[in-house]
Amino acid sequence: MKLKTTLLLILLVANAAFAENISKPAAPSSGLSGKSLNTNIPSSTNLDTSLPDLGDVSQTVLTPQDEQYIGDQIMREVAVSNEVLQDAEVTDYLQSLGNRLAAASPDKQQKFTFFVVQDNSINAFAMPGGVIGVHTGLMLANNSESELASVLGHEIGHVTQRHLARMLAQQKTDTFKNIAGIALALLISRANPELATGALTTASAASVQRQLDYTREHEREADRVGLRILDNAGFDARAMPAFFTTLQRGTRFTDGAAPSFLRTHPLNAERIADVSNRVETMPYKQVADSLEFNLIKAKLRASGGLAQGAIDQFEDNIKERRFASETAEHYGLALALLRKNDLAGAINQVTWLQINAQQNAFIENLIARLEVARNNPQAAASQYAKGLALFPNHRSLIYGYAEHFLTINQPDKAIKLVQDKQALYPDDAYFYTILAKAYHAKNKKLLHFQAQGEAYFRQYNLKRAIEQMEFATKAKDGNFYQQSIVDARLKELRRLQENEKLVEERLS
């Protein structure tokens, strides 16, 4: 689905403010180290946690309610964007990692939503409402899980310190109506660089961009807050200066072509030294990467570029024993072979995993997907049931099993499965989409429209949610109880829409 044209030009101005974008391709898989990194968890008592006193003038410009409204508008576009990676395993991993860090942040009340952009550039960006985007290129470029956590911690620091609101207050700008659209020019600029260039030539865009540039003080504050978050969450604090050094080395000879963020806020030796000095006296302690971190990286590598190229890289790495995790390398090879429809080769890799790897939800889901690809519905159903018995909360397994029931025309089983699992993921739009499909198969019109409306609501699209609920109220096949629920929900959605209009008017 195309991104809304009205957002594209507006959102491009946010690139300099929110995107820590290093324009270079992701590190190739052959560069993975064959050794585990020696890491340590520093004591928080050794950290200098003092921060610049920048005041809280942000309260006079954007309230937390305003920022949440903006965040919801961002997520509405994210939910339907082709540039956002729609992979529950990758998203859930990133969200889990982000939640762990957010729990260690100064603001325990702030809600964070993380999403993944399918793009090879090394990029992460924070936006109002606790929305944080991470490019696949950045996830691949990190040498350890602690390095990835350090980037997320830095971005969380920007959010908890409310840097955007502070900048708006200092500029006393009246561009809130534009700011309310902040999400996806960052995404469209990846898909259409010419559009991005054209948008930034406008006088208004250039003006807003200058107003939204992070200051050096903001960057130092985000570094310090991020370092404290990293330490409190149990990660290796030394990973932050290590990743900074990697970025500096990668852009040393491309400063002239660096994006505007790096030109106005350079990643210089002083910034690296400041963070390095803070971790210098911390006691050494090794922190191992999780298996999920390595599996996610393998999955991203398997899905990028040509399938045969990925296969060749995985096979070479296994042969030369160049890997951080042998399990992840075989897992990635199986995915790449499955992608190429080499089912026999994928079966061989799955067999290796079943013999040599510990049980893992990612591997169980891979086996089920392989049975689906082999057109073996009974084996697929058995595998999904087995996988969910072992890992009952794994979203991809739930998705796959429910989709399997729809495929074999057993909507009642799909409905029961989703309803049993919905409490785990109450904000998951796709669960309601599955329900809508199942009710449609049963010719249950009221329940179909109701479920579709709830799906749109969870995609932050109130207008379409209300439309579906209106259809549900006009359906004639619901009982009194079902009709009462739909009527009450429609009233609630209309009230939320009115509140949204009030916030939008205030921001205008």
- Domain end position, chosen among 247, 264, 279: 279
Q: How confident is the model at residue 169 (pLDDT cuts 50, 70, 90)?
A: low
Phi, psi of 322, rounded to the nearest 5 degrees:
-105, 90
- pLDDT score recorded for residue 66: 75
Pick the catalytic residue: 67, 155, 274, 329? 155
Mean pLDDT score, 153-166: 84
How would you list the strands of the sheet with 113-117, edge to edge? 113-117, 131-135, 124-127
Other C-beta atoms lying within 10 Å of the C-beta of residue 195: 16
pLDDT, averaged across the chain: 80
Examine residue 228 and state whether it is found in any structural domain, yes or no.
yes
Residue 380 to residue 384: CA distance in whole angstroms: 6
Mean pLDDT of 4-20: 35
> Does residue 480 belong to any structural domain of this protein?
yes
Residue 215's pLDDT band, with cuts at 50, 70 and 90, is low
Tell me which of 19-28, 72-81, 101-110, 344-353 is least confident. 19-28
Q: Is 155 a catalytic residue?
A: yes
pLDDT band for position 284 (cuts 50, 70, 90): confident
Q: Is 19 helix (H, G, I), strand (E, B) or coil?
A: strand
pLDDT value, residue 59:
52
CB 58 within 8 A of CB 107: no
Q: Point out which residues pair with 19 in neighbouring strands.
A: 125
Answer with the one of 249, 279, 309 that is the final residue of a domain.
279
- Residue at 402 is within a domain: no
User: Between β-strands 113-117 and 124-127, what pairing exists: parallel, antiparallel or unpaired?
Assistant: unpaired
Contact indicator for 146, 235 with CB cutoff of 8 Å:
yes
Our answer to whether residue 320 is catalytic in this structure is no
User: Where is pLDDT greater, at 115 or 81?
Assistant: 115
How much of the chain exceeds pLDDT 90, in percent?
A: 54
* Residue 167 structural domain: 5-23+57-279
* Domain annotation covers residue 376: no
Query: Is 96 a domain residue?
Result: yes
216-232 and 269-279 helices cross at what angle (nearest 10)?
A: 30
Tens digits of per-residue pLDDT, 433-468?
999 999 999 999 999 999 999 999 999 999 999 999
Structural domain count of the chain: 2
Residue 208 pLDDT: 44
pLDDT surpassing 60 at residue 192: no
Domain annotation covers residue 217: yes
- The whole-angstrom separation of Cα 224 and Cα 105 is 11
pLDDT band at 81 (very low <50, low <70, confident <90, very high): confident
Any idea which residue has 């398997």 for tokens?
302
> Residue 124 forms beta bridges with which residues?
134
Residue in 66, 202, 198, 38 with CA at minimum distance from that of residue 128 = 66
Give the model confidence (pLDDT) of 102-115 as tens digits: 999 988 888 999 99
- Two structure tokens written together for 415: 């409905």
pLDDT confidence bin for 88, thresholds 50/70/90: very high
Give me the pLDDT at residue 43, please.
37
Considering the candidates 223, 274, 292, 454, report the single residue annotated as catalytic.
223
Residue 414 lies in a domain: no
* Residue 64 included in any domain: yes
Helix (H, G, I), strand (E, B) or coil at 95: helix
Q: Which of 279, 309, 343 is the last residue of a domain?
A: 279
